[in-house]
Amino acid sequence: MKTSSIAIVLLLAASSVAGARPGGPRLGPRPPKCGKLTAAMVKDKAVADELTAKAYAAALAKQKLTPTTLTSTYQAADAAGKKLAANQFAGPTIQIGYGTGWEFVTDGNGDVWAVDRAPVVVATKTYTICGCPPITHGGAEPASVRLIYTLPAGKQFKGRVSIAYDQHVVAYSYSHATPCPTPP
Q: Is residue 103 in some structural domain?
A: yes
Q: Is residue 25 in some structural domain?
A: no
Which stretch of DSSP H or E encloses residue 57?
helix 39-62
Collapsing DSSP to helix, strand or coil, 153 comes out as coil
Distance CA 151, CA 89 (A): 8
Instruction: Kindly list the distances between the CA atom of residue 78 and the CA atoms of 8, 81, 145, 146, in Å, as whole numbers in the listed order.
Output: 73, 8, 8, 8
Q: Is residue 10 in some structural domain?
A: no
Q: Is residue 7 in some structural domain?
A: no
Question: Which amino acid appears at position 5 of this protein?
Answer: S
pLDDT at position 32: 59
106 and 112 Cβ atoms separated by less than 8 Å: yes
pLDDT at position 6: 47
Residues of the domain holding 133: 30-175
Q: Is residue 112 in some structural domain?
A: yes
Indicate the pTM of the whole model.
Answer: 0.72
Distance CA 156, CA 145 (A): 23
> Over 80: is that where the pLDDT of 52 sits?
yes
Distance CA 10, CA 165 (A): 57
pLDDT at position 83: 85
Distance CA 44, CA 51 (A): 11
135 burial type by CB count under 10 A (0-12 exposed, 13-18 middle, 19+ buried)? exposed
> Over 50: is that where the pLDDT of 16 sits?
no
Q: Which of 87-91, 134-138, 149-153 has the lowest mean pLDDT?
A: 134-138
Q: Average pLDDT of 145-154?
A: 92
Q: Average pLDDT of 67-82?
A: 82
Question: Which amino acid appears at position 78 of this protein?
Answer: D
Collapsing DSSP to helix, strand or coil, 8 comes out as helix
Taking alpha carbons only, the member of 126, 135, 121, 124 closest to residue 172 is 126
Distance CA 65, CA 59 (A): 9
> Over 50: is that where the pLDDT of 7 sits?
no
Q: Average pLDDT of 152-179?
A: 90
Domains in the chain, number = 1
Q: Is residue 15 in some structural domain?
A: no
pLDDT at position 49: 97
